[in-house]
A and B are shown apart, each in its own frame.
Chain A
Amino acid sequence: MMQIFKSIPENMEANLYLPSMGTITQTHSLTRKEKWYEIQMPETHSFSYKPGQFVEVSLFGVGEAPISITSAMKNPGLFEMTIRDVGVLTENIHALNSGDLIGIRGPFGNGFDLKKFKGKDVLIVAGGIGLVPLRSLIHTILNDRKSYGRLIILYGTKSSQDLLYKSELDQWETHPGIEFQMTVDQPSPDWHGIVGVITTLIPSVTLDLENTVAAIVGPPVMYKFVLLSLLTKGLSDENIYLSLERRMKCGVGKCGHCQINHSLVCQDGPVYHYPELKKLQEAL
């Protein structure tokens, strides 16, 4: 049914596009290109969030961009982001320090549906900065470890200099509740780990196929190969979730930039159940 304007809806927000000011409480560089931030929202604009959701981050005079939340929900209004310097906005955000203000709208998007993961073995496949939103899921699982089965994390980056959250990766390697493997594609001489693209790690992982749910996030080129590899292994479509990157300019389903076929990534995604995603011809 087409909705035609009669009067102002009661639930209408005053201005969907107006950011609230958060304060950077902590920040440090993770690599040459990525920086981590902890943001505290004022009490008047605090919010809860789910792993896989994103916020719209503003720097006035420069612009706004969608950025994944990388932390697990603990205290309302406190969250973390990891931002790669890829353009004018992110370059300017990288120049900010603790105590600086930053514009935030959100959180937006659906996030991972934890009900589908609980009681199951969870396979996390992260390529490059795909680990940023997946870290939110990983932390959420670790905070409620007994509700989940095995936690298998596969992580691949271009080189060892690109590895994010290095001290955490060290903890994951020895954590009794995590089966962690990583690989780099272009190893430097000091790299002693596995070499190859992310799919290198998949064949050797043993999975309880009926009882495993996979969450995949990475660059566009990665999805086809990871999916092929997991499906070949026997994992069914039903057990796969992916998160997509698009240019979500508004976050509220209006601007049209993130649309894939009939689906607006900022509303229906960014996390998609693979059987749904398969119906979207333009998605992968």
Chain B
Amino acid sequence: MARPVAYNVNVKKLENDISMVDMPEGYMGEGFFATSMNKVVGLARKNSIWPLPFATSCCGIEFMATMGSHYDLARFGAERVGFSPRQCDLLMVIGTIAKKMGPVVKQVYLQMAEPRWVIAIGACASSGGIFDTYSVLQGIDQVVPVDVYVPGCPPRPEAILDGFIKIQELVGKESLRRRNGDQYKALMESYAIQ
């Protein structure tokens, strides 16, 4: 008897053994290639993000699956999960953050070096989720600025990967001057971060 749901029925042909990122736009001639610094730096940054997982609960289990061999976040250049904020680029807050934990999240964020990005994974990290209660922080954007929110309770690994790809797009397109701009400074000041 046929199973009601069949997987991988449409076999996708392998296009390349190794996928490479496309070259940025630029002028090329014999022995030289000229492009803008923005694009090169963005390309390098987005394909070697070092995530710092701040996993507190059930979404963290989904993140473990995302890091595992089946979904494999390493394919996106994020092989090196660091547990030291000083070396990491991306703070991944995964799970319920209690109000008592809020200052800890902020402390970890402050210890990260610029440029830094934050992704809130799961309903609780994004908005407090089902825990509309006196003890739970109603979204981590009350203590740190967030770049990408991943909905879901918990989100599937595919959703986490999708959020990560969104972060990569932000990282790749970010202008080198952004972190010195007035808008960014105003954002930091609204969180009382110097």
Do they bind each other?
no
Using CB atoms and an 8 Å cutoff, list the residues of chain B in contact with chain A. Answer: none
